[in-house]
């Protein structure tokens, strides 16, 4: 059997002047009478393939001319360099074989609403944006694994069916496990701590489940988290580990995915600034910032920015609507319709931001020591910085039972959250773990947990307890920050949210 293709689109540079066969899907077709311009994508890239009527069989020309978006086919032809073409190469087609004709592909180049695209996720994955995001996700995940593998960590796969709650009982997904009530893992951490006492430096990486009732842009019910855990480490060393780790993810994406970042319109210049040291704030300092005069001014300037952007967009909307009415050609009307749709989406988002700004400013001003930082508080702090920010030493009362109390101030714990800059908010949560048996037992009781469920976890504190700590990084939030995607649902192929599980 002959192969379906002789090279991939991203290898065309090696074949200039030679004949190749590509196999892929029709992205777009433009007909110029005696010439057809077929945009073919094959998973590695997109290439313009030019079919001249005189150069191929007339019946084949006719068949190609009527192909619908997403038809699958093979094309053969000579490769030529063409600067103006996407990817820098074109194919002068001499032969073709249509594999499957596609008719009325539901996702057209026109803008569609999120609801529609989510319902058609199985087809939407073929879009250029989703293609670029998933390639970046692939890089992020390999960078994560390489970082830990290259730094002496051992991978430990922790269970998904669990008995012990790690991150609070409100977000547990219950499972009937042969008539026993268990839940899906919220974190691999507790099990990982046991392995750290065997290997010293370990990590786990897997799906994580939280019954989050909130529908925010930062929450999924199923997400991927990587968690390192290290014995004989200090909080300061843990922060350095997290800093080096995040820098290595960002620099790997910058090195491997320029093209994808360009497609997504990501802020490459800001990503290039992501180098240590990151900002370090204690929770108390973060609270001072939130309640301070600078935040009042910052929020007022932000509101002013939103209002003037809204004004400009409304003017543009008026102008485009007039142009649309006077446009003669259907393709012109369609192009304007796409722009109008995009402007309307942005106007909707702006209206929400304009409404929320004073509420968030008030929440910040009225912040009381002892509360957890809310989403809007994190956003404000994150917007005020151009590099990630560590916020350390949160009040004990708002954090998980396993976090170690600070030795100088028992009201706070030795923990940290890392906030990504530019408004993205938390991507990492981590801490030193309580290693003292009695102190941990007290915390378990305070939280009303059953010590029996944690007997194996308590054993770690009986048999050679050692100072240790670790953290968890959310993969989808990290990708959203790097790519500039507003909602993390776009950063996993099949997102799971409170109101979305059907596909």
Which residues of this chain interact with ligand 4AD, rule CB under 6 A? 166-167, 187, 189, 210, 212, 219-220, 223, 225, 227, 426-431, 470-472, 474, 476-477, 488
C-alpha–C-alpha distance, residues 414 and 394, integer Å: 8
C-alpha–C-alpha distance, residues 444 and 364, integer Å: 32
Which one, 139 or 158, has the nearer CB to ligand 4AD? 158
Q: 328: which residues sit within 8 A by CB, 6+ positions away? A: none
Tokens standing for residue 61 = 């020309």
Q: 79: which residues sit within 8 A by CB, 6+ positions away? A: 12, 15, 16, 17, 18, 19, 20, 89, 90, 91
Q: How far is the CB of 186 from ligand 4AD (least distance, A)?
A: 6
Q: 270: which residues sit within 8 A by CB, 6+ positions away? A: 386, 421, 422
Which one, 367 or 471, has the nearer CB to ligand 4AD? 471
C-alpha–C-alpha distance, residues 257 and 263, integer Å: 10
Which one, 461 or 489, has the nearer CB to ligand 4AD? 489
Which one, 166 or 421, has the nearer CB to ligand 4AD? 166
Cis peptide before 277 (omega within 30 of 0): yes
Which one, 108 or 397, has the nearer CB to ligand 4AD? 397
Q: How far is the CB of 219 from ligand 4AD (least distance, A)?
A: 4
Which one, 388 or 429, has the nearer CB to ligand 4AD? 429
Q: How far is the CB of 193 from ligand 4AD (least distance, A)?
A: 9
C-alpha–C-alpha distance, residues 485 and 213, integer Å: 22
Comparing C-alpha atoms, which of 55, 21, 23, 19 is closest to residue 36?
Answer: 55
Which one, 29 or 238, has the nearer CB to ligand 4AD? 238
In eight-state DSSP terms, residue 32 is -
Residue 286, Cβ density class (10 Å: 0-12 exposed, 13-18 middle, ≥19 buried): buried
């Amino acid at each position: 059997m002959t192969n379906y293709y002789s090279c991939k689109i991203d290898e065309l540079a090696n074949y200039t002047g030679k004949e190749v066969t590509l196999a892929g899907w029709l992205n777009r077709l433009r007909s110029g009478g005696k010439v057809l311009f077929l945009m073919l994508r094959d998973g590695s890239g997109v290439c313009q393939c030019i079919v001249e009527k005189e150069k191929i069989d007339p019946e084949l020309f006719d068949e190609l001319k009527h192909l619908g978006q997403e038809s699958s086919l093979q094309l053969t032809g000579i490769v030529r360099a063409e600067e103006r073409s996407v990817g820098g190469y074109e194919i002068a087609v001499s032969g073709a074989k249509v594999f499957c004709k596609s008719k009325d592909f539901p996702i057209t180049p026109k803008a569609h609403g999120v609801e529609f695209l989510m319902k058609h996720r199985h087809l939407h994955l073929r879009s250029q944006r989703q293609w670029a995001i998933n390639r970046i996700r692939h890089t992020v995940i390999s960078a994560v694994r390489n970082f830990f593998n290259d730094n002496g960590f051992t991978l430990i796969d922790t269970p998904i069916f669990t008995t012990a709650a790690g991150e609070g009982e409100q977000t547990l997904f219950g499972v009937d496990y042969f008539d026993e009530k268990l839940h899906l893992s919220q974190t691999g951490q507790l099990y990982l701590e046991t392995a750290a006492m065997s290997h010293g430096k370990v990590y786990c990486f897997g799906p994580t489940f939280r019954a989050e009732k909130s529908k925010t842009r930062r929450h999924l019910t199923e997400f991927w988290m990587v968690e390192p855990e290290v014995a004989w480490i200090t909080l300061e060393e843990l922060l350095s580990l997290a800093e080096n780790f995040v820098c290595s993810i960002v620099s790997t994406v910058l090195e491997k995915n320029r093209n994808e970042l360009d497609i997504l319109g990501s802020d490459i210049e800001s990503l290039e600034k992501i180098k240590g040291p990151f900002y370090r704030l204690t929770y108390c300092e973060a609270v001072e910032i939130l309640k301070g005069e600078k935040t009042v001014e910052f929020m007022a300037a932000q509101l002013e920015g939103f209002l003037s952007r809204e004004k400009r967009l409304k003017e543009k909307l008026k102008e485009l609507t007039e142009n649309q009415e006077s446009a003669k050609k259907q393709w012109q009307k369609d192009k304007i319709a796409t722009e109008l749709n995009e402007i309307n989406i942005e106007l909707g988002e702006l209206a929400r931001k304009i409404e929320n700004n004073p509420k968030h400013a008030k929440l910040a001003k009225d912040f009381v020591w002892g509360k957890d930082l809310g989403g809007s508080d994190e956003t404000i702090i994150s917007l005020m910085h151009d590099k990630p920010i560590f916020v350390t030493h949160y009040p004990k009362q708002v954090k998980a039972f396993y976090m170690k109390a600070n030795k100088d101030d028992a009201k706070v714990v030795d923990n940290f959250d890392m906030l990504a800059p530019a408004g993205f908010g938390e991507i990492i949560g981590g801490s030193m773990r309580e290693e003292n048996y009695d102190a941990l037992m007290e915390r378990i009781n305070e939280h009303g947990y059953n010590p029996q469920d944690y007997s194996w976890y308590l054993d770690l504190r009986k048999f050679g307890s050692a100072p240790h700590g670790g953290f968890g990084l959310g993969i989808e939030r990290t990708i959203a920050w790097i790519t500039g995607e507003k909602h993390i649902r776009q950063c996993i192929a099949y997102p799971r949210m409170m109101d979305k599980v059907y596909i």
